[in-house]
Structure formats: structure tokens, C-alpha cells
Structure 1
Amino acid sequence: MAAKKQQVEDTKKRKRINTESHQSPSKPKASKFVASKKPKPHFDNKEKKNVPLTGRERRLNAKELAEARKKKRKRHFTLEQDLARLWEKMRRHEIAKEDRAKLVTEALQKMKGKIHEIAGSHITSRVLQTCVKHCSQAERDGVFEELRPHFLTLAYNAYAVHLVKKMLDNASKKQLEGFISTLRGHVAPLLRHMVGSVVVEHAYDLASAAQKQELLLELYSTELQLFKDLVSLKETRLLDVMSKLGLKKGSVSRHMSSVIQPILEKGIVDHSILHRVLLEYFSIADKTSVTDIIQQLSSPLLIRIIGTKDGAKIGVLCVKYGSAKERKKIIKGLKGHVEKTAYHQYGSMVLVSILSVVDDTKLITKVIIREIQSILKELALDKNGRRPLLQLLHPNCSRYFSPDDLASMNSSIPSLSLKDQSEASSPTETSKVSIGDNDSKEDMDVAEPEVNEDKTSMDDSELAESGKKDPLVRRQELLLNSGLAESLLDTCIENVGELIRSNFGKEVLYEVATGGSGGILRPTLDDKINSLHKAIASLAAEPKSEDSQEEHVFENFFSSRTIRKLILDCPDFASILWEEALKGKSELWAHGHSGKVIYAFLESPDSKVQKLAKKELQPLIDNGILKTPKSREQAAQ
């Protein structure tokens, strides 16, 4: 009974509590029971801590806590905060020079004696760079002297390296010489470091020829690293240095390999000092070592190398002496970078080398030609971009390629060059030659009756370094089969006025209009070439007008010379030009630049062209209206 009675009371109690909780808050129902159970709340210190903080309060607390931790961890935290506030003021563009100078002086005073300690911070390194840029020379010298003993340490720091570069940019000759001296013995370790290599490269770019040689020498040999005064700095080539000192090729090669390999493995290949070292290494290394280096470089790494003069030479050598597999990797690595490479002063020569050497014309068409076809006009008008086009139209022409460019394309690696090996071999050894392209054996017998595609005979020694295909066949496949020539002709016809008046475009236009070297574009594209001749003649047939913004093609410096050259070298064009633009109008164009164009008809080696114009031009010469080259020379004197 007692249990039943207790159960009834509990049920009543629950109902009473539920009823009170559902009452409207505007009309609270008083209950003695609830009042006795819920006393008036009283807050002590512990309960205050449990009150939830606002978002702003949490952020402020977190900031205070972080600053407290930084003060304990960072020795110069307060100084960094002060410098950051000064930096925000001094770096503004609108600030007066006098005010900035005061802020810079104040910042340098605060940092004095602690510069080397705070230079590695991402905040204070920026402050220091701004101070070095805008401070006086005396203040800059003071900073340099304070940092001098710590340059090597700072060179390895990701933030301090920018300050070191800024100091070098503003350094005097004496200071730069002192800095390069501090690098002695540390060049190779720095080049192996991703950050340190940037400092060495920057110093190498700013250095004089003698200082550059000083940096290079310790990468060649241990002896040269230890005894700097062994070599006169007049010797620039490694072979000359070795010859003078009697250094052994094997020891030098091993030392250079120990320097180069770790750098290549880390992929630190962007620097010109490394490119120079690689070129010198190629001149003394054995066949196996050179082949290993070419294999390592025949990858996306090559794109990063060909941006310098020496790097482009390395790229040309990799294309020239790489196997078919390695050449394929090089070409595929250029995918998406062809346009940028074509416009580059040095990189364009690597494209020229690929077009001249590689036999896989289908791959070249797919990767390189297709990308070139979309920008033919821009390439033709560019000084460097026109080179690949001109190489296909007129290979190795000294008019379009400088002696340095031609020397780069003809450069060789002694240990891999078949020509050098054949000259060095004795008469009893001439039955063996080393294999050039796509080789799997060291030597092969010339007397072997069957030669597969991975072997080459002595008669093919030149082709081993320039491809096994006939150069004319390769050009036809790249120009005609790929559709490049037709696209180029269409581009020339559509933009004939712009190209013929351009300093660089006129050369591409001339080669296309003449059908290319050896008439490679004829007879396949004779109709298109004839259309181009008519397009040029139509420009020439336009009346002479003083109001026109553009010079007439007969009077423009570049176009008049191009037309004159076409008259001399292309009889078909000369006939079309005479009939459509000059017949009966010769006297109008007998003066100035246009007079040279008119007289070219009489200078033409083709008798038909001379006969075409002689009847009309001879009276002009007799009357002194049209001057001959001799009369022009006499007038100039």
C-alpha cells in the first residue's frame, strides 16, 4: 500500500510541474513548491568563468595569448612590431622623401647591432630591404659591414636571401669583390641548395669576367678550389687551364661529376653558372658520363635550361646527340611551350635544331608545327620567332643566322662526335666507329653488309649527328606534308602589306615568294606563289599619294629593297610586277628608293626581264632621269 501511495503522489507531482512549464510567460503562476525548489540565483567567481564569450572577446583573448607566446619565443618580438609600424609609413608612394629618410634612419637606429639576427624574419627582412633601397650611401655601407661576417649564413635563409641580393645590387666594386671572396670554397654547397644557389647566380651575373672565372674555377678541380692563385684568370676555357697546369682529365672529370650530379638530382638547373659548368664538362667527360647527363636533361628540365646562351647550347647538344627516345622526351616536354620558346632569343635556336636534326617528323608536326601554325603572322614579324620558319625555308643561311648561331648549331661533344673520333683514330682502327643516334652498341664493323636502323656506317658519320634522313626529305615532310607551307603562303597573302614593310617579316615573305631554297615549295604550291606575286604587284600598283599615312611600297626602306631583290632573283615575279604596276609609269618612280627598284630590271640576270623593261627605261637613263649605280656613287662623292 505504501508503494502504491508513493506512485500516486509522484504522478501528481509530474502533472503539476508540466502544467507550470506550459503556462504563458506573461502570466506566471506562482507556486510555493517551485519557489522553494528554485532559489534566487547567486553568481560566484567560478560561475562567472562559465559565461560564454562573444566572438570579438575570443579573438582578442587568442591574440593576446599568441603575442605572449611570441614574446617568450622571439627575442626581438617588440622590435619587430615597432619596425613593422615604421615600414607601413615609409613604403607609401605618396610620402615625401625627407619624411621617408627620417623613418629609414629611425628604423636603422633601432636595428643597429641586431641586423644579422633579425634579417631572417619574413617581416624585418622586408623592412631592411626598404631601408637599403632608400637610405643614404653611408647608412648602406654600415649595414653592409654589419652583415659581412654573416652573408654565408643569410644566403641559406629563404627570407634573408632577398636582402642579400638587394645588398649586392647596391654594392660598390670593392664590396662586391669582398663578397665574392667570402664565397670561396662554398660555391658548390650553395649551388646544391635551393635558396643558396640564387645568391651564387646573382653574384655571378653582377661579377666581372675575372670574378666569374674565380667562381667557376673551384667547381672544376679540388686543386683550383684550394689554391686560387694557381691559374692566371686569362684562361677562360677548362681545357686551357688543364693544359697549363697539367691537370689530369680523369680527376677533373670526377670532381666536376661530384659537383654536377647532386645539383641535377635536386632539379636546380635554372642558373647560368651551372650551364657554363655543364658545357665545360661536356668538353672533357667520357662518352658514358656525357650520355648520362643528356638522359637526365632530356626531360622537362630542358625547358628551364634553354633560357640562357649556354643553356641553349646545351639544349642543341642534347637534341643533336640524344637517342630517339631522348629526342622524343625533349619534343614532348616542349608541348605548350613552343610559342614562348620561339620568341626567346636563345630558346628559338633549340627549335631550329629540332627541325634540322630530328627524323620523327610526325611527332614534330603534332607538337611543334601545329602550335606554330596558329601564330604564323606574329612569328614572321618577330626577330627570334622567324628563325624556325627561315630554317625550313633556307637552312643555315648566314643572312638570317649570326656566326654565333651557326657555331652553336655546328657545336659538338668530343667524346660523342663521330668526326672527332674518326680523326683521332689510327688507320688500323678505322674499321670501327662509334654509333651516333639511337645506339645500343659501342662500336660496329663497317664491313658488315646489313645495317639496321640503330647502326650507322662511316659514310653516314655526318648524318649520325644530324639525323639519318636526307635533309631535303625532312624539309619536305615538315613544310609540305604538314601543311605549314600552305598556311604560311595564306598568311603572307593576307598580310602582304604589313610583312613587306617589316624589318623581319620581309625576309620570310621573300623566301616564300621565291619558293624557298632549292625551290622546295615548287611546283606543289605554284598557284599560291603566283597569287602572292600578284598581291605584291597590287600593292605596288597603288597610286602615289602624299596624304596616305603609309609609305608606298616602292618608297619604303624595307619594302623597296625586298621588291628589288625579288626582281633580281625571281623572273616570274618581275614579269608580273612590270605588267601590273610599272609599264608606262617608270618615269614616276625613277627617283629615290623606287629608282633602285626600277633599275633592277636592267640588272636582272634573266635576259627576258631585261628585254621587258629596256625599251622604256633606256630613254630615262639617257636623259639622266633614272640614275645608274655608278652615277649614284659619283653623286654621293
Structure 2
Amino acid sequence: MSLKRKNEEQQQDQNGVKKVKALKPDDDTTEDDKSKSAKNYENKGKKLPKDTAVTRRERKLSRKMQKPNFELSKETLKLWEKLRIHKTKMPQEEKEKLVEKLLSIIKKQDKKLKSFAYAHDTSRVLQCCLKEGTASQREAIFNDVKEDIVQLSKNQYSKNLVLKILRYGSKSQRDHIIRQFAGVVPKLIRKKASSGVIEYAYNMYANKEQRTFLVHQLYGNSFNIAKSSEKSTLEDVLKEQPQKRPIILKNFKRSLLPLIDKAVISHTLVHRVFNEFFSCCDEEEEIRSEMIELLRESVIHMVHTRDGSHVGMYCLWHGTAKDRKVIIKTMKEFVTKLCQEEYGHLLLLAAFDCVDDTVVVCKALVAPILKALPEIIANKYVRKVLTYLLKPRDKSHFLPETIAFLSKGDNNKHSKKPLEIRHKELSDAATAALILYARENLSTLVRDRSMFTFVEILVKFSETSVLDLMKDLCEMLSMPFQAGKESASGEMHVVEDPAGHLLIKHVISLPLEQDKPHFASLVLECVEASSLCSWSSCNRGSQILLSLLKSPDSSASEAARTLLKKNLKIVKKNRNVKSTQHLLENLEK
């Protein structure tokens, strides 16, 4: 006899603490029972004997045999296995015959195809028939299941059949499937299985009208009653009936609450709905604040799409200090991934714009980016984030649409510190680390076509002294030059490098600033006259010399003209170089 549990007797002592009596073995437990229990414990984890394993297989088989479609599924699975394994080598005609045979076997038994869609194995048979069959065979499968699309979409196995019809079916079949979702999108979008079907149809195959049809179902009953036509947008309805704005938005908010779930919050359809909600909430601050409080911990799961990133930006702009703190806390873990995303990096720009506590922003968002700079600097969106830290909303580096959207958050009521001060504090915190990284990796950055602009941006926008960085550039320029010759490491001289010469030209052409030495004057100080004139032996070098002559620093420009005229013989030796001809023409003026 095995050990038995006695009823737990709870007694309360004087202090009110509950006592539980220790469990004891039954009095009638013999020594043999104890030894058997010990033996069973020792054998735990060991392989079962063969006869036991056989018994288990038999029980499993007997359970399968009790299913109504057992024999039929067994026969179809054999044909499916043949079709699946040999599909690459099998000619198309033979595939079609096998598919026809599979369908005919099912029809002989007077079975509905949909009954095969709910099991993991037979569902795959139907999916394979859709993939490998002809248009008429696909049509036959579709006709058998077309009235049960909604029900099929709810099951973890049968939903794959709907996905395959969307993928391999005709346009009319796809349109039928989307029409079947009328009135049921709010229920289907909440379930993990069916939400995937809605998302796939919305993203891959729905046209503009069909997308609007799916989205409108999530706006709530008040909107659907108030809209004058199927083409009416939320904005149109709110303009036509301003007195109903609070009711429509409250109902809209109520319909969105079930969507704040990790399983469905990542869908683009959900992002669009939330974005349209926030874009219409300017006059209903209370409703918007309530939604932000509920959504703040889920924002991080939405930022991989355009609409989702805009939702995150709305939450940062109009959220309270506590809301912003929660959002930044969720961003901290993923910040290095976030700054590399096309839309995710916009959330960082919004945080730089509106969060008053720049110390928290630097610690949670800026510091991890600077730490991971060697691994992520090659990404163009990372460089956009760094550019924004140095020069926010610069028109030469950011699209007008991006600047216009970012400016929507400027007048929010929760940001007290002036925008310029926030930007300056963040810039000062990041600049020193960025200049240090640029100096340590200057040779690589200068010669990289995608990253040389990063050095230009540092020199152009950095408020911290970049004199050391410019001197390092001049030191690279002062190295002996010979046209077409590579260094021991296989690198071209900066003057002749495709990316390097562009950087030098751009930096020379930067406007002259007070209390900041111009790069053109530093070049003339650091590079010897003979080495400077030797640049005329190649096109790119002559272009740099022309930039020196046209430099915004007039004193450096005159000094360069005087130096080149003194060494005119060296320049004239390279008259056969096209850019050098232009240089000589400029010097003769």
C-alpha cells in the first residue's frame, strides 16, 4: 500500500497562527509496501519495458480508430505523403492526378471537405491539394467550404486552409472570404487564430475599399450608425455631426479595449485603428488620457509599423510624466533594436522632443545607443537618431513630412521645459562620446560611402569643440600622395578615395562660424605646399583644391590661391587631368 495523505487538521494557537499537522504514513503500511515505494522511486526516469511501450501505442491507435474519418484519413495521408515528398521531381500532370484522386476518395465516402480541415494531418492534405491542384480543383474545394469561412478561421488547424485559399485562390474567392467577415471582425480580431487570418487578408490581398470595410467594424456601433455612406471616414462623421463626437469616441474607445492584448497588438490593422483614434482626439483630452494610461505598457509592441509608431508618439506627447516614464522604461530594453527600425526610430525622436527629464532620457535611451555604436553605426536609421541629437529637424537630413509630424507634439500641455533647452542638454550629453568614437574610427568612417556623412555632421553641427577631430582629418591629408597608389593595407589616400574626397570637399565648403576655426585654414597649416600641389595629379585631388579656392573663409581662399600660384609648375605638369585644367583656368583669373 502506498503512502496516503491524511486530512490536514488546522489548529489556531493563541496568537492566531495556523498550525498544520505533519503528514504521517498510515498505520497499516507494511515494510513490503515501503520497499516497493522506494523501488518505484529509484526506477523513475528509466525507460519503460517494451511490452509497456507497445501497450501505449495500442491504446493510442485504438483512440484514433474511434474517430469517424480514421480509415479515410489513413488512405488520404498515404497519397498526400507521396505528393509531398516527390513534388519537386513529379511532373505537373501527375500532381493533378494525385490531387483528383484524393478529392474523389473523399467524395466517394460522402464526406464534406470541411470535416477534414479541423485535424492537423488531414488539414495539411487539403492545403496541399490547394497548392498543387488546378484552378478547377481549387474551385471544388472552395465551393465545399465557402459558407464556413468564419468558423474555419477560428480553429488553429482549419485557419490554414483559409490562408491557402487567400494565397492560391482567385480574386473572386478572396473577395468572398473578405465579405464573410462582415460584422464579425471585432470578435475574430480578439482570438489568436482568427486574428492572423484577418491580418493576412488585410495586408496582402484587400484593396482600399475592403481595408476600409474591415477597419470600420472596429470603430464601434455609434460610428456605424452615424455614418452617411460606406465611404465616410471617422473624420468626416465627426465634422458632419460634432454634437455626437463624445459618444462616438467613447464607443470607439470601448471597442478598442479588448485589442490591448499582446497576442493581437502587433497587427497592422490594430495599429491603424489606434492611430485614427488618437488623430481625432484633440478635443477629447479625458478620453485620450484614459486610453494612453491603458496602452502605455503595450506601445513598444506597435512601433514596427508607420501607424504604430505614430500611436507611440501620440502617447509620449499627450501622456503625463508617469505615462512617459513607463513608456521609456519599456523602450530601454529594446532601444538598440528600436533605433535601427524604419518607423521605430521615430519614437526616439519624439522622446527627445517632449520629455523634460533629459537625465532619464540620456540614461535609458541615449547611453545604450552610444555603447553599442560600433555594432549599429552602419544602420542609416541609427545615424538619423544621432543626427537628430546634434541638429534636430534639420531639413537637409529629414523629410518635410517627418518634420511636420514631429512638430505636432510641440504644444502639448505636459512639457514645461523649452524645446531648445531639451535639445541642447541632450546634444551636450552625446557629443563628446560621438567625437571620441569618430576619432578612434576615423580611417574607416572617412572611406565608407554610407558613413562619411556622420563625420561631416559632427563637424558641422557639434557645439562641443571638434578641433581635435579636424586636426586628425588634416593629419590624414598630410600623408604623402601619389596618384593611383594604395597603402600596405590596400587603402587609397583620402584625397583619391571615392568617399573621402567628398567628405573633405563638403567640410571645406561649410560656412564660417565665429569662435570656430575653419577647416580650410587648418588644411593649409597642416599640409606641406609640395604635398598639396601633388593632389592635382588626379581628378579628385584637383576638385579639393578648387574647393579650397572657393572656401567661405576668404583668408584661407586667398592663401590657397597664393600657394598654388607659387607652385604653378607642379600643377601645370598635370595639365592632362580634366579637373586640373579647370583649376588652372581658375588660377589665371
> TM-score, normalised on structure 1?
0.73
Kept after mapping to 1: 8 A contact 2:316/2:354:
yes
One of 345, 348, 356 as aligned partner of 1:348: 345
Aligned residue in 2 for 1:156: 154
What is the CA-CA distance between 1:504 and the residue it aligns to? 3.4
Report the more deviating stretch, 335-344 or 263-272.
Answer: 263-272
One of 542, 555, 578 as aligned partner of 1:595: 542
Residues 1:586 and 1:129: Cα distance change in structure 2 (over 3 Å): farther
The answer to whether residue 565 in structure 2 is matched with residue 626 in structure 1 is no
One of 39, 48, 57 as aligned partner of 1:63: 57
**Partners of 1:210 and 1:503 in 2: CA distance:** 43
Residues 1:615 and 1:410: Cα distance change in structure 2 (over 3 Å): same
One of 603, 606, 610 as aligned partner of 2:553: 606
Residues 1:506 and 1:356: Cα distance change in structure 2 (over 3 Å): farther
Q: CA RMSD in A?
A: 3.3
Greater RCO between the two (CA within 8 Å, min separation 6)?
1
Q: Greater Rg, structure 1 or structure 2? A: 1
Residues 1:332 and 1:521: Cα distance change in structure 2 (over 3 Å): same
Kept after mapping to 2: 8 A contact 1:249/1:284:
no
What secondary structure does 1:610 align onto? helix
Aligned residue in 2 for 1:274: 270
**Partners of 1:597 and 1:247 in 2: CA distance:** 66
**Partners of 2:405 and 2:581 in 1: CA distance:** 43
What is the CA-CA distance between 1:475 and the residue it aligns to? 3.9
What secondary structure does 2:339 align onto? helix
Question: Residues 398-442 of structure 1, C-alpha deviation per residue, up to 9 Å, x if partnerless?
Answer: 222223322331235xxxx857xxxxxxxxxxxxxxxx21xxxxx
Report the more deviating stretch, 285-294 or 547-556.
Answer: 547-556
Report the more deviating stretch, 242-251 or 557-566.
Answer: 242-251
The answer to whether residue 21 in structure 2 is matched with residue 75 in structure 1 is no
**Partners of 1:213 and 1:259 in 2: CA distance:** 16
**Partners of 1:495 and 1:383 in 2: CA distance:** 17
Residues 1:625 and 1:133: Cα distance change in structure 2 (over 3 Å): closer
What is the CA-CA distance between 1:354 and the residue it aligns to? 1.4
Aligned residue in 1 for 2:21: none
One of 121, 137, 140 as aligned partner of 2:138: 140
- After TM superposition, list the pairs within 5 Å mapping 1:145-544 onto structure 2: 145-206=143-204, 207-220=206-219, 222=221, 225=224, 230-231=228-229, 233=231, 237-243=233-239, 248-264=244-260, 268-285=264-281, 286-299=284-297, 301-412=298-409, 436-437=413-414, 464=415, 468-481=416-429, 484-514=430-460, 516=461, 519-522=462-465, 526=466, 528-534=468-474, 536-537=476-477, 542-544=481-483
What is the CA-CA distance between 1:547 and the residue it aligns to? 5.8
What is the CA-CA distance between 1:290 and the residue it aligns to? 0.6
**Partners of 2:334 and 2:263 in 1: CA distance:** 19
**Partners of 2:292 and 2:402 in 1: CA distance:** 21
Residues 1:242 and 1:179: Cα distance change in structure 2 (over 3 Å): farther
> Which structure 1 segments of 5+ residues have no match?
1-53, 420-435, 438-463, 633-637
Residues 1:476 and 1:137: Cα distance change in structure 2 (over 3 Å): same
Kept after mapping to 2: 8 A contact 1:587/1:625:
no
Report the residue type matching 1:60 in the other structure.
Answer: V
**Partners of 1:560 and 1:160 in 2: CA distance:** 61
Residues 1:226 and 1:471: Cα distance change in structure 2 (over 3 Å): closer
Aligned residue in 1 for 2:102: 107
**Partners of 2:299 and 2:385 in 1: CA distance:** 18
What is the CA-CA distance between 1:345 and the residue it aligns to? 0.6
Kept after mapping to 1: 8 A contact 2:507/2:519:
yes
Kept after mapping to 2: 8 A contact 1:493/1:531:
no
Kept after mapping to 2: 8 A contact 1:120/1:160:
yes
**Partners of 2:290 and 2:407 in 1: CA distance:** 22
> Which structure 2 segments of 5+ residues have no match?
1-47
Kept after mapping to 2: 8 A contact 1:355/1:388:
no
Kept after mapping to 1: 8 A contact 2:250/2:287:
no
Question: Residues 48-68 of structure 1, C-alpha deviation per residue, up to 9 Å, x if partnerless?
Answer: xxxxxx932332232222222
Report the residue type matching 2:360 in the other structure.
Answer: L
Kept after mapping to 1: 8 A contact 2:223/2:237:
no
**Partners of 2:143 and 2:225 in 1: CA distance:** 26
- After TM superposition, list the pairs within 5 Å mapping 1:29-108 onto structure 2: 55-72=49-66, 74-92=67-85, 95-98=88-91, 102-108=97-103
Residues 1:370 and 1:104: Cα distance change in structure 2 (over 3 Å): farther
> TM-score, normalised on structure 2?
0.78
Aligned residue in 2 for 1:119: 117
Residues 1:217 and 1:625: Cα distance change in structure 2 (over 3 Å): closer
Kept after mapping to 1: 8 A contact 2:118/2:158:
yes
State the percentage of identical aligned residues: 27
Report the more deviating stretch, 104-113 or 591-600.
Answer: 104-113
Aligned residue in 1 for 2:509: 568
What is the CA-CA distance between 1:239 and the residue it aligns to? 1.0
**Partners of 2:241 and 2:486 in 1: CA distance:** 72
**Partners of 2:113 and 2:524 in 1: CA distance:** 78
Kept after mapping to 2: 8 A contact 1:604/1:610:
yes
Kept after mapping to 1: 8 A contact 2:278/2:311:
no
Kept after mapping to 2: 8 A contact 1:541/1:581:
no
**Partners of 1:247 and 1:89 in 2: CA distance:** 65
**Partners of 1:411 and 1:146 in 2: CA distance:** 52
What secondary structure does 1:201 align onto? helix
Aligned residue in 2 for 1:577: 523
Report the residue type matching 2:165 in the other structure.
Answer: M
